[in-house]
Amino acid sequence: MLLAEQERILTSEQNLLTNKEVYSTNSGTLFLIHDYGNIVVPSGGRLVYFSAGIELSTIADPNPTADAYFVLKVGGNAIAGKHISILSSPPITAWKKDTLGCIVWLNAGTYDVSLYGATDNFATLAVVGEILSVHQYGFSVGITSFNDLATSAFQHYTAASTDISLTINARVTPLGALKQAVYALTITCDKAWGSGLSVQVDGTTITTPDENGGTDAFGIYCYKLFVPLTVGSSHTITINLTLASAYASVVACPWILTTALRNGHSPITIDSPQLSTLYANLGSLFYDSTKDAYIGVPKGVSFGINDFYAQGTIEAGILSFSYTFTNVNVPDVSFIPDGLGGCIENIGVDTP
């Protein structure tokens, strides 16, 4: 018997903005590349995600070295950033592409959206046109939602210490009980992580974020921290500021993915019979990133993917992962996905 559950709520999907035009600057200071105008977040607030294709290209130089800095602002406030570098890499005209994106909870309202950039070494930086579905570069803003979601809205923080506490309630899915949710902190600050800004998770100081936006040359520091934590109890993200201010949002959800470096995010305790087949689709959210799925457990001495009985990966698009439990004992292993910027869209199990 096949049982399935849609975790990304497709009926909630809505595009707020798509722009495929090309805009560029070669400013050495943080410069407005383009003001995209307003987005309108409906009543009650929504989970909003942003994705901008970005590119750095150098002038003709046999050994180009260049940096580009991007900052996304919403309602006039920095919400995310990205740093791109080219280090003496041929060919003579060198370029590098990346994606700037994030997911936050925005309260209902109208927000202006703009992208700023700066570059050095006489490089040129550009936003290049994209329609996400065909994986071209550009800028889009969308609304989405998930089952098992808890949020703290994007807002301004100035207090010396602020606790953001969220709980994902325990429940049973077709595959088994929920086990872990990823607590996703998106934060920008006028001081660097570890110097004016520190973050604690349940009282433990986190020394390194999962993504550093690298825009510090212009006094804006942009970070992401995506930490898997147990469901069924409250967990607290603490933002500590020393003569600093920050803008931040926290989104907690079992179906949001974190980095491979946090190997071990296990959203579900698998509870199905032997010879059953597990199914999961891993999709893109604010990055069309590489997505991985594993069956097994991280070993005491790890040899990477060789630790696991099954592994699936895809560099872009949707990873359709499945595994049939034959000689592997169901209670002894975990389903472990990763891919910062991605999500689990649906799950299912076919029992004998």
User: CA–CA separation, 85 vs 158, rounded Å?
Assistant: 32
Surface-to-core class of residue 208, CB atoms within 10 Å of its CB (0-12 exposed, 13-18 middle, 19+ buried): exposed
What residues contact residue 210 under an 8 Å CB cut-off, 6+ apart? 224, 225, 226, 258, 259, 261, 262, 340
Instruction: Please list the alpha-helical segments (H only) found in 120-231.
Output: none
How many beta carbons lie within 10 A of that of residue 93, not counting itself?
Answer: 11
The whole-model pTM stands at 0.93
Going along the chain from its start, the domains and CATH numbers come out as 10-144 (2.60.120.40), 150-253 (2.60.120), 261-350 (no CATH)
pLDDT in tens, the chain (352 residues): 889 999 999 999 999 999 988 887 776 778 888 999 999 999 999 999 999 998 777 655 555 567 778 899 999 999 999 988 766 555 545 667 889 999 999 999 999 999 988 876 544 445 543 222 222 368 999 999 999 999 999 999 999 999 999 999 999 999 999 999 999 999 999 999 999 999 999 999 999 999 998 767 688 999 999 999 999 999 999 999 999 999 999 999 999 999 988 878 999 999 999 999 999 999 999 999 999 999 999 888 888 888 899 999 999 999 999 999 999 999 999 999 999 999 999 999 999 8
What residues pair up with 283 in beta bridges, in sequence order?
Answer: 343
Residue 168 near residue 150, CB atoms below 8 Å: yes
Question: What is the DSSP secondary-structure string of 104-151?
Answer: EEE-SEEEEEEEEEEE-TT-EEEE----GGGT---EEEEEE-BSS-EE
